[in-house]
Amino acid sequence: MVKSRLVIYKSDRPYQADVYGVSVTFCGCGLTETPPFCSGRHIKTVHEKQDKIYVYDSKGVLLGPVKHIVLENGEIVKPEDIYMVSKATERE
């Protein structure tokens, strides 16, 4: 049996922060090879549509979009339940 966790990231780009006067870029997509810092892998998320759920393996390989996720308790999670994007983060 393979154990895994579902972690949902709602951002497709990194977060910038000023840490003691140094500009630091933190991962926002969850695909980084250098957590918690951005490694540029968010470029893989450029094709993603907001009405889909995208599943990646632990190496950052896209397994595919899915219509919904069924939790162990039978609850169905749809994209509109988890992917809310503000105007500030929408792609142009």
Measured between alpha carbons, how far is residue 44 from residues 15, 34, 49, 59, 84 in Å? 16, 16, 12, 12, 19
Q: Whole-number mean pLDDT of the chain? A: 80
Report the range out of 2-6, 30-34, 49-53 with the highest average pLDDT. Answer: 30-34
Percent over 90 (pLDDT), the chain: 27
Q: Report pTM.
A: 0.64
- First-to-last alpha carbon distance for the chain, in angstroms, is 42
In angstroms, the CA 31 to CA 87 distance is 23
Predicted confidence (pLDDT) at residue 5 exceeds the cutoff of 70: no
